[in-house]
Structure 1
Amino acid sequence: MIRMLPCRMSSSRLAGASGRRRALPTNGAGHALFLPKFGNRPRGTQNRARSGAALRFGRALFASCSWGLRRLSRFGTGRAEGNETGTVRLVRFGRPSFRPCSGHSGGSTGRVAFASRYGTELSPELPDPADRMDDVTKLAVLPPSIRARGVTAVLGPTNTGKTHLAIERMLGHESGLIGLPLRLLAREVYQRVVERVGAKNVALITGEEKIKPKNPRYWVATVEAMPRDVDVAFVAIDEVQLATDLDRGHVFTNRLLNRRGRFETMLLGSATMRPLIQKLMPGVTMVERPRLSTLMFAGEKKISRLPRRSAIVAFSAEEVYSIAEFIRRQRGGAAVVMGALSPRTRNAQVELYQNGDVDYLIATDAIGMGLNLDVDHVAFASDRKFDGWQFRRLNPMEMAQIAGRAGRAMRDGTFGTTGRCPPLDQELVERLEAHDFENARVLQWRNAVPDYRTIRTLTDSLALPPREEGLTRAPTGDDVQVLEIMSRDADVTARVTSPAVVERLWDVCQVPDYRKVSPGAHAELISTLFQYVGTGGRIPDDWFARQIALTDRAEGDIDTLSSRIAQVRTLTFVANRPDWLGDPEHWQGVTRGVEDKLSDALHERLAQRFVDRRTSMLMRRLRENTMLETEISKTGDVTVEGHVIGHLQGFQFAPDPTAGGEEAKALRAAAQKALAGEIETRANRLSQAVDEAFVLSHDGTVRWTGEPVAKLIPGDEVLKPRFKIIADEHLTGPARDQVEARLTLWVNAHIEKLLGSLNKLATAEDITGIARGIAFQIVESLGVLERTKVAEEMKTLDQTARATLRGYGVRFGAHHIYLPALLKPAPRTLAAQLYALKHGGLQQKGLDELPHLAASGRTSIPVDHEIQKGLYRAVGFRVCGERAVRVDILERLADLIRPALAWRPNSPGPKPPGAVDGRGFTVTVGMTSLAGCSGEDFASILKSLGYRMERRAAPPPEADTAAVTEAAPAPEAAEPLTPAPEGAIEADLLFEASEAPAPVEAHEDASHEDAPHEEHDALVEEVAEAAETEAVIAESADPTAAESAEEVGAVEAPAAGDATPAEAAEAVAGEANPEEPALIEVWRPGRPPGAPRREGAPGQKREGRGDNRGGERRDGRPGGQRRNGPPGDRPGQGHRPPRPEGEGEAAAQGERQGNRPPRSERFRVPQGDAPRGPRPERHGGGAPQQQDRRREKQADPDSPFAALAALKARLEAEKKGK
């Protein structure tokens, strides 16, 4: 280790002072090297003569110096530095650590005084013993023997009042300096001192902030920024246990060992520092203070169950933010305190906590460094932190420092764990409660007097190890890393030409890296700064202004603003250097303004994200039990103390949907206190409301003026549902009784208005017997009953009972028994809701969609198989394959199909559209347009109705032509009815007969009111029954059935015309390809799905034939095809020859029954290729004979059938007359 005593005087003057003018070795900075008697030789020199001269001069100097220099040989050489004031300082390696203060000249002060001219004489003056402390304050590196002079170490756990004691002691002196570990704490102490002595007497010095009035008496600074050129009577250093910190420890160690006040020095810290302080400072005064309150362990608690006034400690910004967001959702908000926050942001956040706006504080370990907060409980959310090198668990002393924040002054505090923090060991808990911890072993140390001759000597001097026990060399810091990076830069090394430049380079490298991007990024900034100030220059104002402009933006999120604040903190540190900018005071104000602007914006972002001011205000007001200013808008918005807390919907308060947990509880509590009178007022208004003010929505909610007040629930009967009032506990007593009575009255009136016909049908006294049962099923089916469900009852229902049911609006259709008046959208919507109440609830799928589709006027809709079929029926539709068809449209479709099935080649009158020979029909455009679908969808409808399809050869063109010729007059007869067929259909779809512009619908609706037409319905009903049997053709030949066919003929007349080109095209195709005849799809009636099988004649066993007719068989082949051979190769395929005239049904039955082999052999396939025998040829059919028997029976002239026959005859006569 080099021992040197440099001096500002030149070598020649120093030699002259000793009487010898000879060159002396220097350290490269113009300072001579003096080696004491026990020193080592200087590095790089072997000149023993010069060393001897230096040794002799050093002995003479030591003999004439004050007592502080006499023991220099014990701890190594130093540097005696003199100036015009006569001050002598003892330092190591390089120039003095601080400048001499003016006003303290030699003479009576006892300091060593140099002659007015250097080198002339040296007449030292021995100091007065009372003033010996003054000499110690001027030493940059103190020897162990004098370190303890005037030093008092006040040690103890947290909440012992150490910082308060230091402030009081400092204010008791004429001047003082206190060093604090955090910028946040420095700002807090500065405010306290300003309140005591005024702002003009207090200076604040931190790395990023400098408030320095003229001639301040007291200085408040961070430990790193403690000024070295001030002479004060009192010095205090807080939290000296941080001297063990790997990152900042060497700074605290240097201040602890070497920074002293003239009269008093106070060291504040943990009791674990006692052994090391006694070892490094023999004779120091030790004072231990007990904790003012008791600290107890409270165990583990969930974050949501932590008590009020709790601080939750985490060790990463991400964890702090996540906990704060959770607390906001559960408890209304939390304040956030981190060491990286600017003092302005931190103070604003702490103010939120201190004034009660929030009850929780989320912080890093920054709160462990002396922040005085009103904290009752400290909860550790984690026990691991990143110390700059690795993630590690907190040691007991660190945990005690944080836990000690709980319980300030005389109020006890508790600590515990929460979140993902593992449970604390019992031993650790006991040590934390008793403040019993392992003593500190070593302090971090780094050489405080670097060698500035070259970059190499600088790095070597910084790497020197300590020579005292209890000290250890600190790890390489950020400034040293940057210095090493800079030393490898050729441009930098080219600029370093003198020790002064090396010293400036080291000053630039000590700019803190607040951004924490990477060492390379920080080194790039340092290189730029060194280019400007390395040789004594200044940073250009335009460059500095551009850097500030990059950060002077208040938009962005929390992370963005935090990053900008870190950048502006670096610029603020640069602006606080006195000789780096042309106008440092101006730029200090600019950077401070930008930092304040960003700090305010960051505080707002933190408050917006982590604080719900509304909930915090409500919770505070509720705790204070004060009256709340409440306002309810016309739309129901509830405003309390200027904050919207929710919405009053009917009689139920709905808190803000964004609120949750404790926030929602606070909103409800505030609403309960503020809405008591409003609920009663609304109940009175509802009880006097008119019926038009209520409406029943699709989900079964009863709304009053748009607000929900009740919900339908199932009742004992389908037409008598009950309801449940939608209200909270605010609606009670007489007000609730008024609301219930009014809603009961409206619900009953609403059902009577829309479904009153069902009520009349259910309570009719003139309906008895079987009709009574059918009426009951109609009511239970809400007005639409499938006929197959009462097929047996219908067979025994007489005409009188049918007439009685018709009197109540019941119509007997081919497929349904229904009430046409209830097929309008409004009744069907209510019916769907009542059905859903009994079958699956009001939340089932389709309850919203189906009423809208039904009201749109569509005749059929696609089927969603996830929706109940009963719900389709409730809205007036029937599921038919892949389509759901309106029930009245199915009846009209049956009216179109019936005449086509009844037609025979020898029948009088025109051929109905779609009619083919052989008791079948083809699909026409009229049918598809009526159903609103075609192709496979329409085929699925027909199949669901019991029709079966088979393919046949197209009839000969002559037959088609004849049929067209015969059907040609039909359009002429229907010509008056054709102007607006679309309008007629649309009017029928909308179920509004009065607005229908089409004569067809007008005629149909008028006929509904006509008594004779009701009798016609009976005939239609009988024909519909016959359609389910083999005798449907015979019954359809009745004149009244023909009249029914004429009724729909006007609508289907255009369809017949449209079908003619298609048949002509098929005929042309048949002529073009005579070898491959064209096929057409013929539909024939079969047993509808679910219909009961017909019974045969008495004493006979009926053999079913349905599987061999149209449709598909079980083996997948179309009905009517046998297993061998294609269709048409066997009897029974294609056109069957007509039966002979005169053969009746009985003969046909006899052939079918008497000539068949036993059932076991009936369908046996013949062996080999032997052809089958021909079937007996049939001539004619049974239908004409049955018609003859019907005609032989004389009709009652007073019956409706006779009236209809007369009406038909009159119409035919009028047509022939035209």
Structure 2
Amino acid sequence: MTRILAVLGPTNTGKTHFAMERMLAHASGMIGFPLRLLARENYDRIVRLKGAGQVALITGEEKIIPPHPRWLVCTVESMPLDRRVAFLAVDEIQLCADPERGHIFTDRLLHARGDAETLFLGAETIKPLIRRLVPGVEFMSRPRFSQLSHVGAKKLGRLPPRSVLVAFSAAEVYSMAEFVRRSRGGAAVVLGALSPRTRNAQVGMYQAGEVDYIVATDAIGMGLNMDVDHVAFASLRKFDGRAPRPLEPTEIAQIAGRAGRHMNDGTFGTTLDAGTIAPEIAEQVETHRFDPLKTLYWRNSDLRFASVPALLASLDRPPEKPGLLRARDADDQLALAALSQDEEIVKLANHPERVRLLWEVCRVPDFRKVMDESHTRLLGRIFRHLAAPKGRLPTDWLAENIRRIDRTDGELDAIVQRIANIRTWTYVSHRSDWVAESAHWQEVTRGVEDRLSDALHQRLTNRFVDKRTAVLVRRMRDGDGMEAEIGDGGEVRVEGEFVGRLKGFCFEADKAETGAAARTMQAAALRALVPEVERRLAQALADPPEAFDLDPDGLSWRGEVLARLAPGFDALHPQVEAPLGELLPPKGRERLRKKLGEVLGLWLAARLPTLFRLPDAPLTGAARGLAHQLAEGLGSMQADESLVRTLSQDDSLALARLDIRVGRHGLYIPALLKPKAQALRALLWRIHTGAPAPGIPGPRPAVMVPDGVPAAFYEAVGYGVLGKVAVRRDVLERFAALARASAHSGPFQPSHEMHSALGLGIEATESALGALGYVKAGDGFRTGRKPRRKVRPDKPSDSPFAVLKQPR
């Protein structure tokens, strides 16, 4: 019978080291860590000891599995529990009480076992619940190696070297890192959203002594072992995803425990702005005595895949054991609930294997941690591809999605968001049953993440590390600061000197200034801009959609670009990137992003109303399919004969009522052929494809196609390409009709009407005729190949549109 041991104690007790030694003493073993960063760090340790062929690394985004590994190092979510091992351990088991991930840790506590030995590592607070829920468990308490002492509040500028300054938002981290850079020469920055590679690079600067300070969020509290002497809290409240709340004593202890390494004592406290830690809480942290946990989060793992409703019902099952609390709906369950409202998805998930597949797709993480509709739409597309006959994700679609992310331009927030996006595709690439050439795509996504991580590290370093000092630095540090003012035109002056301009929410420094003086002036200006930023943000959030505009540079407000657009799930639905401007606070940035997303949808719907009405139009069958393709094609498309032939008379009438013209060679919407609509369609095409868009044809019926311009561009603005000529869709139908009429009696010469229809001369007319299948012979043009099957009978009485011509 397996031995179950709970090894409990505070940070810096050697629990993980003990578990690793125990695992390596067995013939086989598995250990689950709460973070990918921790799993990678301990995998590297075992590789150095035992060799790469003996150990596997298994996380959602990284899998290194040799042919016959003896030991497996995993994230808790990725532990392969169907694999039998002699030893099994789970680190930070107190995370069973975490509202977001707790149900996963609780499942491991209840069900994950090694054949010979099982270890649970964590805090003493979980001890009563482990005793209640795990029969036969033994306990081992480990004391902290070093002393942890509370030293009260200190001024931000008087923090001792080898300190970590902890805040709870990216904006606060950036602001304090900027302060440390000016006053102490620089700081490393650690945020939860950083990739492991970037975090390691930032911590590496600190460990190497290049900087003496780290400014971090509470991500510092788990998984980073550093030589830290002091931890200072810049705030004692945090936003937990629902509302601001005070830090729990256990949270303070987890973070403060980073101070002191092995036998070196450490201290903790606050900055003056944060107030002081209550004496009773400080005593709890120093003595490591906390109230025990009352409940653990739980979710049913015995799922039913008979149908989507059955799966949802099994996820909602309440716990039967005391001490367990049903977890709030996790992201995967929310995604499943959302996709269950899609009739097409439900029809595809028509048997248990498909339901199981849908659930696996819903478990693809959204590493941005926003779980908005765009992620749900992506999951829907993944499932549709996997439920198709080929059962794989299309290679070109996968490549295009990754290509869009593989950019290192933009601000910090934009790069952080791209890292989160590529992590999702890295996760997908490890599903060899979903992706052809899985190993290749794993290498590709790792390369993209590495490039983005290196770029982010470089930007963080450039922004927050500057060891040069100057007279202006001393004036700001020793005096009362510099006076700054904002002119009516956005000019920013510090101590009467012009230092730059405020455009939207971006500060553009005066290029005439360089070096430390310019950066110091900029920092003073940024502080002075806080009230103005708050005023502008309130105004932008209150303004109606008419106050915004869309142009090639992005979504603008009052003449200033606020955000750029990124490709969405189709060309008609671009996404709003993180708003531009380092001055925006995180909550304000998110509110503005949501506002701009709403404005963009309303703005486009007002200018392309027919396209936005198509999804809700009362269409069925082939008509609905054509309307869907037409919307994706921005209002025009080549005729799909097989689909068009299936149109009933009612379908044709319904399309006609929507102002959709169905011709022999294509479909189009006349209103979208006008120059303004063309310009907007060209912009949407450029955003979606990332390719430069040439000038739009405007009102011209036809234009010659320059070399290198893709036919897809012209189709997106309402033109079909015939040979070397792009012809507006309505003109193309008229031109083709003239050619058919002329060819009815045998060989023909292009008529004046044909030349006039295109307006480009004889060569263009002949090129277009050739593309339509006519061959030039000595006596004129004649039909060169068997005509296509007609999309509709020629007789007006048989045409689906004939009824429109009948008198009422």
The TM-score with structure 2 as length reference comes to 0.58
Displacement of 1:533 in angstroms is 1.2
Match of 1:580 among 419, 422, 434: 434
The amino acid that maps onto 1:592 is R
Work out whether residues 4 and 136 of structure 2, in 8 Å CA contact, stay in contact via their aligned partners in 1.
no
Kept in 2, the 8 Å contact 1:178–1:237? The answer is yes
Contact in 2 for aligned 1:482/1:519 (Cα 8 Å): no
Contact 1:383 1:393 in 2 (8 A): yes
Query: Cα distance, 1:463 vs. partner?
Result: 0.4
Deviation at 1:346, TM superposition (A): 1.0
Once residues 212 and 419 of structure 1 are traced to their aligned partners in structure 2, the CA distance between those partners, rounded to angstroms, is 50
Unaligned regions of 5+ residues in structure 2, if any?
A: 471-513, 524-808
Say which of 105, 124, 131 aligns to 1:271.
124
Structure 2: which amino acid aligns with 1:242? L
Aligned-partner residue type, residue 218 of structure 1: W
SS at match of 1:166: helix
Provide the rounded CA distance (Å) in 2 between the counterparts of 1:400 and 1:549.
43
- Once the two structures are superposed, the pairs formed by residues 125-524 of structure 1 within 5 Å of their partners are 133=1, 149-418=2-271, 420-524=273-377
Secondary structure of the 1:601 match is helix
Shift in Å, 1:656: 5.2
2:487 paired with 1:657: no
Residue of structure 1 equivalent to 2:780: none
Deviation at 1:229, TM superposition (A): 3.2
CA displacement at 1:390 relative to structure 2: 2.1
Pairwise CA distance, 1:230: 2.2
Do the aligned partners of 2:319 and 2:326 also contact (CA within 8 Å) in 1? yes
Structure 1 contact 239–369 (Cα < 8 Å) conserved = no
Give the equivalent residue in structure 1 for 2:394: 540
Output the amino acid matched with 1:281: V
Q: How does 1:474-873 map to 2 (within 5 A)?
A: 474-534=327-387, 537-612=391-466, 657=517
- Cα deviation, residue 312, structure 1: 1.1
Q: Alpha-carbon deviation of 1:542? A: 0.2
Letter in 1 for 2:286: E
The alpha carbon displacement at 1:393 in A equals 1.4
Percent of paired sites with the same residue: 56
Q: Secondary structure at the match of 1:389?
A: coil
Deviates more, 1:297-306 or 1:363-372: 363-372
Give the deviation of 1:420 after TM superposition: 3.1
- Taking the aligned partners of 1:529 and 1:400, their CA distance within structure 2 comes to 42
Q: In 2, are the aligned partners of 1:481 and 1:519 still within 8 Å (CA)?
A: no
Q: Which has the larger radius of gyration?
A: 1
The CA distance in 1 between the partners of 2:150 and 2:254, in whole Å, is 14
Offset, 1:339: 2.2
SS in 2 for 1:224: helix
The amino acid of 2:245's aligned partner reads R
1:418 counterpart letter in structure 2? T
SS of equivalent residue, structure 2 residue 77: coil
- Cα-to-partner distance string for 1:685-735 (whole Å, 9 max, x where unaligned): xxxxxxxxxxxxxxxxxxxxxxxxxxxxxxxxxxxxxxxxxxxxxxxxxxx
Q: 1:395 to 1:656 in 2, by over 3 A?
A: closer
Deviation at 1:519, TM superposition (A): 2.7
User: What are the within-5 Å matches in structure 2 for residues 911-990 of structure 1?
Assistant: none
Structure 1 counterpart SS, 2:453: helix
1:420 match: secondary structure: helix
Query: Matched residues in 1 for 2:100 and 2:516: separation?
Result: 48
Matched to 2:243, the amino acid is Q
Question: Does the Cα contact within 8 Å between 2:33 and 2:76 map onto a contact in 1?
Answer: yes
Task: Indicate the SS of the match to 2:5.
Answer: strand
How much does 1:657 deviate? 3.1
Q: For residues 553 and 517 of structure 1, what CA distance do their matches in structure 2 show? A: 21
Instruction: Give the deviation of 1:153 after TM superposition.
Output: 0.4
1:184–1:339 Cα contact (<8 Å) kept: no
Kindly indicate whether the alpha-carbon contact (under 8 Å) linking 2:331 and 2:371 is maintained by their aligned counterparts in 1. no
The 1:248–1:324 alpha-carbon spacing in structure 2 relative to 1, beyond 3 Å, is same
Q: Distance in 2 between matches of 1:213 and 1:204?
A: 9
CA distance in 1, matches of 2:385, 2:515: 61
- Displacement of 1:217: 1.7
When residues 187 and 615 of structure 1 are mapped into structure 2, their CA distance, relative to the original with a 3 A threshold, is farther
Structure 1 distance, partners of 2:298, 2:368, is 26
Q: Is the 8 A contact 2:469 2:516 kept in 1?
A: no
Q: Quote how far apart the aligned CAs of 1:614 are.
A: 5.6
What's the CA shift for 1:453?
Answer: 0.3
Q: CA deviation at 1:576?
A: 1.1
Report if aligned partners of 1:324, 1:333 keep a CA contact under 8 Å in 2: yes
* Alpha-carbon distance between aligned partners in 1 of 2:51 and 2:190, rounded to the nearest angstrom: 28
Distance, in Å, in 2 between the alignment partners of 1:581 and 1:550 is 18
Q: Please say if residues 375 and 406 of structure 1, whose CA atoms lie closer than 8 Å, have aligned partners that are also in contact.
A: yes
Conserved in 2, the CA contact under 8 Å of 1:309 and 1:377? yes
Q: CA deviation at 1:534?
A: 3.0
1: CA distance, partners of 2:93 / 2:102: 9
**1:954-980 CA deviation, whole Å, 9 max, x = no partner?**
xxxxxxxxxxxxxxxxxxxxxxxxxxx
Residue 249 to residue 615, structure 1, CA distance change in 2 (3 Å): farther
Question: Residue 78 of structure 2: SS of its match in structure 1?
Answer: coil
Do the aligned residues in 2 keep the contact of 1:235 with 1:266 (CA within 8 Å)? yes
Which one-letter code corresponds to 2:178 in the other structure?
Answer: E
Alignment of 1:1112-1191 (within 5 A): none
Offset of 1:655 from its aligned partner? 9.9
Q: In structure 2, what residue type is equivalent to 1:567?
A: N
Matched-pair contact (CA < 8 Å) for 1:453–1:502 = yes
Distance in 1 between the 2:464 and 2:19 partners? Answer: 36
- The count of corresponding residues between Structure 1 and Structure 2 is 478
1:325 to partner: Cα distance: 1.2
* Cross-structure match for 1:1029: none
> Are the structure 2 counterparts of residues 401 and 517 from structure 1 closer, same or farther at C-alpha, using a change threshold of 3 Å?
closer
Contact 1:249 1:474 in 2 (8 A): yes
Separation in 1, partners of 2:67, 2:243: 45
In structure 1, give the amino acid aligned to 2:172. Answer: E
Residues 221-250 of structure 1 show CA distances to partners (whole Å, capped at 9, x for unaligned) of: 111111223222111110001100000000
SS across alignment from 1:154: strand
Q: How does 1:1030-1045 map to 2 (within 5 A)?
A: none
Distance 2:449 2:335 in 1: 26
Q: Distance in 1 between matches of 2:408 and 2:519?
A: 28
Match in the other structure for 1:1188: none
